[in-house]
Copies of this chain bind each other. A is one copy, B any other.
Amino acid sequence: MNSFESSCDISTGPRPAASRGSRVLRMSDFRWQGVPATQYKQAADHHCGVTRISLAGETGESTAFHTRYFEIAPDGFSSFEQHAHEHVVVILRGRGTVRLGDTVHEVGFGDTVYVAPHEAHQFRNVGTEPFGFLCIVDAVRDRPVPVTER
């Protein structure tokens, strides 16, 4: 694969019709009623087993941020990448690691990760159940750039 495809900023296909009205999205087993989940159909060089669900900000809302839920399957991982925009991540299920530069932190439910601008980062499932987290980003943001190991 020549072009870098981030596991975070992927297209999620056709969107539901825009709706700006207030609403409650019901969650059952980490899937939200009426909200599509985009699963990677196969592993790539850069990521593996990542599902992305857009909860708010990309379907007609006018927030300055997008709220997404990512889930990484056991043995899966996100792209090792960096970008100018920041991440705020809140773990909702499972156990995983986040690599921030050269440091790896193990994280679980409720732990909150702030990824600073241009910090190389990668999420990895180290448990036996799905590793799921909210990831909130600015609506206007730059594209991720892959990081190669030194």
Contacts and interface: CB of A to CB of B under 8 A. Distances in A.
B65 A107 contact: no
Contacts of A88: 55-57, 61, 63, 65, 67
A117 interface: yes
Given A88-B57, A90-B55, A121-B22, A64 B111 contact: no
Interface residues of A, number: 45
Given A63-B65, A136-B65, A136-B67, A116 B55 contact: no
Interface of A is mostly: strand
23 contacts: A21-B116, A22-B101, A22-B113, A22-B114, A22-B116, A23-B114, A24-B100, A25-B112, A25-B113, A30-B110, A55-B88, A56-B114, A57-B88, A61-B114, A61-B116, A62-B86, A63-B65, A63-B136, A65-B65, A65-B88, A67-B88, A90-B90, A90-B134
